[in-house]
């Protein structure tokens, strides 16, 4: 098997925020997609590089999806917005293989993938590079001793504040009410972000322009909840 490219900081030790990298053994076709199609779409983060340069088509906006799972949402957004570059970060290779199987018969030029820690991308981006960020149904790490492994931390919001343009949207979704409260508490405490809810019921309603994910349909931990914030 050809290993996917490593992140730009293999020598740096930091807290791992995701679980396993692979699920069941790949079929021969899935392995072929990992070996041949993935290298065509995979980006290597370069410090300070304009993210539009990772694409071969002209783009007016760049959106980042952290942990795209099987890629349903990423692919739907890319097809609906051909002028937007979608960067998807997903370390779970079985999910990556599912997305590749959808891209093989119908290539989408405004998608680029990264199969390692999304923080590598965020740290490499220049200032004010992103127009939207999706963090949809991340691992909630429900045990208190594991909360330090949750993706949303104040340090992460500091990094997002640097790379998101003023007015850019941050979209968060979870089926874990505690993680939603955790995230909202940190967003409201951060001076660079504002919660954009217009009513008390907004957290129950998925944004109309945000297609559902396969994981969302399962909602293993409870009803899906949604949070939107704006970079000030």
Distance CA 61, CA 44 (A): 19
pLDDT at 122: 98
pLDDT at 3: 44
- How many other C-beta atoms lie within 10 A of the C-beta of residue 167? 9
Q: Which residue has the higher pLDDT, 25 or 70?
A: 70
Q: Which residue has the higher pLDDT, 116 or 218?
A: 116
Task: Report the CATH number of the 43-231 domain.
Answer: 3.40.50.150
What are the two backbone dihedrals, phi and then psi, of residue 171, each rounded to the nearest 5 degrees? -110, 125
Distance CA 158, CA 123 (A): 11
> pLDDT tens-digit profile of 30-71?
999 999 999 999 999 999 999 999 999 999 999 999 999 999
pTM, entire model: 0.90
Q: Is 158 a catalytic residue?
A: no
Catalytic site residue from 61, 139, 178, 202: 139
Residue 14 confidence (pLDDT) above 80: no
Q: Please state, in angstroms and as integers, the Cα–Cα distance from residue 201 to each residue in 62, 79, 195, following that order.
A: 29, 29, 13
The domain ranges of the chain are 43-231
Q: Looking at the DSSP assignment, which residues form a beta bridge with residue 173?
A: 136, 226
Closest CA to 4 of 103, 92, 68: 92
């Amino acid at each position: 098997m050809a290993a996917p490219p490593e992140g730009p900081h293999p020598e740096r030790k930091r807290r791992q925020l995701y679980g396993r990298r692979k699920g069941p053994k790949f079929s021969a076709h899935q392995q072929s997609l990992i070996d041949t199609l993935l290298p065509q779409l995979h980006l290597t983060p370069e410090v300070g590089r304009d993210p539009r340069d990772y694409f071969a088509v002209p783009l007016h906006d760049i959106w980042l999806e952290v942990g795209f799972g099987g890629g349903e949402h990423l692919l739907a957004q890319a097809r609906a917005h051909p002028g937007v570059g979608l960067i998807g970060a997903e370390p779970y290779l079985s999910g990556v293989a599912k997305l590749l199987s959808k891209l093989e018969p119908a290539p989408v030029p405004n998608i680029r993938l990264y199969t390692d820690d999304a923080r590598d991308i965020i740290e490499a981006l220049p200032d004010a590079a992103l127009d939207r960020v999706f963090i949809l149904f991340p691992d909630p790490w429900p045990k208190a001793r594991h909360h330090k492994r949750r993706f949303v931390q104040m340090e992460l919001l500091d990094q997002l504040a640097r790379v998101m343009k003023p007015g850019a949207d941050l979209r968060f979704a979870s089926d874990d009410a505690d993680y939603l409260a955790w995230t909202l508490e940190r967003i409201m405490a951060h001076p660079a972000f504002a919660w954009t809810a217009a009513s008390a019921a907004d957290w129950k309603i998925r944004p109309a322009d945000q297609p559902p994910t396969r994981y969302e349909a399962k909602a293993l931990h409870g009803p899906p909840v949604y949070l939107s914030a704006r970079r000030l």
